[in-house]
Amino acid sequence: MKFITKTRINFLVLTCLFTLIANSKLIASEAEDKNFDSVYFHTAVTIAANDVTKALSIADSLFVHSNSSLNKVKSLMLASSLFQQKGDLSSSIRNAEKAYLLAEKNSFYEWQARISGFLASQYRIMEMYEESERYLEDGIKYSKKLDNLQTSYLYQGLILQEKAYYFLAKNELKKSLNSAREAEANFKKLQGDRDRKFFVASNQALLGRVCVGMKNWNLAESYLTEALQGLNKLSNDDLTVKGEIYSNLGRIYFEQHKMDLAIENLLTVEKVLETSNYLPLEVEVYKTMSEYYLATEDYAKYTIYNEKYLNALNESEKKKKESINQFIESTKAAGTKVKVYRDGFMSLSIFLILLLVVLFTLYKKKQKNDKALFQQIMLKIQDAGKEFSLNTEDISSIHTNENIEDSKLLMSAETEKNILEKLKEFENGNKFLDSTISSSKLAGIIETNNKYLSHVLNTHKEVNFSSYINELRIKYIIKKLKDDQQYRTFKISYLAEETGYSSHTKFSQAFKSVTGLSPSIFLKELEKTSA
């Protein structure tokens, strides 16, 4: 799971966005290079967010038709970033290593810094932290050697960003936050207004993610909102970066129980996913959406999004397994170290399988319990002689000798009998469906006072006024649902209004407190018995 949720848009994609400007003095002004840069930039920013397969085809074509060694390095790294986005780590690393050798051969120090940062990111994703740390150190070393001070600030910032993700993957959140803030300090030194704003905004997105990990919801929201505003002012592209921001905002609002804001942001990310094949984001978003629909008791949508989440998770784990196996085959000389990573991966796979088995078992057990509870409720509804309460949990009787003695002192037996008879008349009618019913109003209806009413309810019905009304209403609607199939087609909000509740939520709470089941689960079980 760590592999999925703690990845990000990789190190290279951020550097790709800066390529045209950062290298403008290094690239010749020939038409070929201008055309290359135009296609390269459009592919890295726009096409990659919408169609990874098409972007890979363009990257391959750029490599084949380029006469410049620098352009070949850039093409290889573009392909590497796209393979990483697809979850094919083996192909991603293979292209990056080719690019690194070509950069080393031609003394492209800037690209050696870039590729070091990128490989650090890839090894982090595979949880090979020693290799990742080594490349981080190389990246910082190369970035400090660059003659152009502005370019040096840029790459030091990007390496420090990757270092923040490295610490985030290891759950060392304070170190991650410090590295991200150091990265921001470097980005703020950039002189180009557009470039400075872009990298500061992307770094704010990172700071927001770290704060989400720290559960500092308010600070996380502040960083992410600023990042989104900054990116929107610069471009309508960068869909994957914005998708991650909306995903994190959705998680923040879900954790804060701001459900309307949570689903608004999550649905925005879902639109991005319709055109972007970005598995890590799919896993993250569908997980939060399934939790949202479970919390709001929309079980139909919960089932859909939980299935999407599990499918994305399985696909991502499959790609990771394939990539790591290919990597192991290509690095047999690593010997013992490779065995450790394979064993670690197998342990993780076994753990995930066992977790899915446990979750499935619990789900089936809940289904069985819900069915048993439903059957008990229907038996009590059919048997008019059963006790008043529908609740299947044990109720400690409060009808004691002391209560009886209190009744004799409080009121005459004739008065008590009269109240009980009028309550029976009240129960046989529908006045309890009145949304304005109160204990005072009921006392008036049966011609008594609140004190006598409360005592009789506690002594003979074993409930308070609120529970008494709730049970009458819920019994009423259950009978309607049982006897009239048309009622089963009505929305919960209509059933709530029908029974005197002011909202869907209050009705659902009352229904569950009386029966032990939510209205949606009860309806589901009722449909099964009618099928």
Task: Dump pLDDT digits (tens) for 21-55.
Answer: 444 444 344 556 678 878 887 887 778 777 888 88
Mean pLDDT of 355-372: 72
The DSSP result for 167-204, as a single string, is HHHTT-HHHHHHHHHHHHHHHTT---HHHHHHHHHHHH
Vertex 50, ends 203 and 22: CA angle to 5°? 45
pTM of the model: 0.49
- 3-state SS string for 149-176: HHHHHHHHHHHHHHHHHHHHHCCCHHHH
Q: Which residues does 43 contact at the CB level (< 8 Å), separation at least 6?
A: 55, 58, 59, 62, 78
pLDDT tens, position by position, 456-512: 999 888 889 999 999 999 999 998 888 888 888 888 888 889 899 988 889 999 998
CATH 3.50.50.60 fits 2-330, yes or no: no
CATH number of 401-530: 1.10.10.60
Buried b (16+ CB within 10 A) or exposed e, 472-486: bbbbbbbebbbeeee
- Residues forming CATH 1.10.10.60 domain(s) in the chain: 401-530
pLDDT reported for residue 39: 84
Question: What are 94-117's pLDDT values in tens digits?
Answer: 899 899 889 888 888 888 888 988
Could you tell me if 276 and 243 are in contact, meaning their C-beta atoms sit under 8 angstroms apart? yes
249-263 mean pLDDT: 92
Please state which of the ranges 235-249, 318-332, 453-467, 498-512 shows the lowest mean pLDDT: 318-332
The answer, yes or no, to whether residue 346 has pLDDT greater than 50, is: yes
C-beta separation of 158 from 11 below 8 A: yes
Measure the CA–CA gap between 348 and 1, rounded to whole angstroms.
9
Q: Give the pLDDT score at 239.
A: 65
- Cβ neighbours, 10 Å, residue 384: 6
Distance between CA atoms of residues 29 and 407, nearest Å: 101
CA–CA distance, 414 with 422 (Å, rounded to integer): 12
pLDDT at 403 over 60: no
Which residues of the chain form CATH 1.25.40.10? 2-330
